[in-house]
Structure 1
Amino acid sequence: MSAPRTEEKYGDSVARFATEASDSIVEGSKPQGYLAPFNPTDVTAQQAALSMLGLSSEDMLYDLGCGDGRFLFAAFLSVEGGLNCIGVEFDRIYYERCLTTLSTIPPAQDKVQFHHADVCTTDLTDATAIFVYLVPAGLKLIQEKLHDCLRRGCRIASYMFSVPGLTPVKTDSTKGGCKVHFYDSSSLGVGGE
């Protein structure tokens, strides 16, 4: 039995997002180490983050706490010819939904990957851009990793919550008052910390 889907339009493309777990997924309590509730990034927040990140086909974009992958798909489809993307999701249900949606966007299948993994142990050394949605406690856990990424020249957009120890270059409020914070190497302050 396949999961019911909702559709979301991105330019000329339509992504079909799974809205329920399939029979192969067991619904249950949130996994231990849970760092963010599922909160789909609305289109205005996606657009703000995409504008701030200024993505190109040369980028390697990571989405930390990617949920059902909607930001990664929007990012992939916003760049002519796409870009390499990796979504990291701890909750197996949403990871499976990412894979279901990926099957509806054939051009993305060679460049978009999803990892069922813990963002705290994810290697970000090849990231040139990061979109992150984690609660403040989760951002604190990966704070040093994010600072290291900025030192290497990576750009970061954080949805809703600010990254501890960093000064955003820009903050946009989206529909409903949610915020997107943008960081680059200048966010580290004098001497790059």
Structure 2
Amino acid sequence: MSFFQKRRSRPAVLLALAAAALIAGCAQEGGDPVQTDPAPQSTVQAPSIDTASASSDTASTAPESDAPGSDVPYVPTSPKTVARMLEMAEVTSQDTVYDLGSGDGRIVIAAAQQYGAHGVGIEIDAELVKKARKNAKEAGVADLVTFRQGDLFNADLSGATAVTLYLLPSVNMKLRPKLMRELEPGTPVVSHDFDMDDWEPDRTVQLNGDTVFRWTIPEARPDGSTGE
């Protein structure tokens, strides 16, 4: 090889090396990524949400609505307790029994069947109202009872001569001023299981694990008696 050829070959080698280095650099920047160890998982994780407990927490911490009657779950009263409630209310054929939170209609239907009384059921659940109307028709007392869909706190109770209820203690207390305000003195109020705090019942009966309370709307309403 001549000297001239040797002098030309060295730059060519250098150029080739430089080109190779340049190509490698470009490949590293824009080509296939360089494999690295996976990044460690962050120790700060987004909180997992349990939808059931979240709903429960929301319900328990939310402020009470203006219509607390809508929050009362429907639990049917046993036939024996229904009979005792009507007996304690001293229902007759001259009465109009209002059941607040009437569910499937069993209390006012029983009042109509057993005593020939008229009855009005107030229930917020549309499906239960439909069921109650069907039950009344099947029992043959549809002409004596009426079922109204709506919140009991918005209902007019002035037509009642007896009131029955199976609600919750907090709802009873919120309902108490309305009972005092809209019912005539002497009207019996009968509750399954839950009392009215410092409003002393006239009579309390234990029956197969249930408790039935009976109050009477007083003639005189001393300060504080309405719960307001």
The TM-score, its normalising length taken from structure 2, stands at: 0.63
2:144 match: 111
2:202 match: 169
Q: RMSD across aligned C-alpha pairs, in angstroms?
A: 2.5
2:213 match: 181
Does the 8 Å contact 1:35/1:135 carry over to 2? no
Does the 8 Å contact 1:150/1:184 carry over to 2? no
Does the 8 Å contact 2:108/2:121 carry over to 1? yes
Larger % of helix: which? 2
1:137 match: 170
2: CA distance between counterparts of 1:145 and 1:32? 13
DSSP-derived class of the 1:47 partner:
helix
Report which structure shows greater RCO (CA 8 Å, sep ≥6).
Answer: 1
Among candidates 90, 94, 111, match of residue 58 of structure 1: 94
Query: Shift of the alpha carbon at 1:33?
Result: 5.2
**Equivalences, count:** 159
**How many percent identity over aligned positions?**
28
Deviations 1:104-147 (A, max 9, x none): 123x1211000011000110111110001111122122110122
Gap runs ≥5 in structure 2: 1-66
Larger % of strand: which? 1
Does the 8 Å contact 2:192/2:212 carry over to 1? yes
2:99 aligned with 1:89: no
2: CA distance between counterparts of 1:88 and 1:156? 15
1: CA distance between counterparts of 2:103 and 2:221? 31
1: CA distance between counterparts of 2:119 and 2:155? 14
Query: Shift of the alpha carbon at 1:163?
Result: 2.1
DSSP-derived class of the 1:71 partner:
helix
2: CA distance between counterparts of 1:104 and 1:142? 32
Query: Shift of the alpha carbon at 1:44?
Result: 2.1
- Cα distance change of structure 1 residues 104 and 123 upon mapping to structure 2, 3 Å threshold: same
2: CA distance between counterparts of 1:165 and 1:95? 33
Kindly report which structure 2 residues correspond to 1:25-36, keeping only aligned pairs within 5 A, or say none. 34-36=70-72
2:192 aligned with 1:153: no
Query: Shift of the alpha carbon at 1:93?
Result: 1.9
2: CA distance between counterparts of 1:68 and 1:95? 7
DSSP-derived class of the 2:71 partner:
coil
Does the 8 Å contact 2:69/2:153 carry over to 1? no
Q: Which aligned segments of 4 or more residues in structure 1 are displaced greater than 6 angstroms? A: 187-192
Farther off after superposition, 33-42 or 46-55 = 33-42
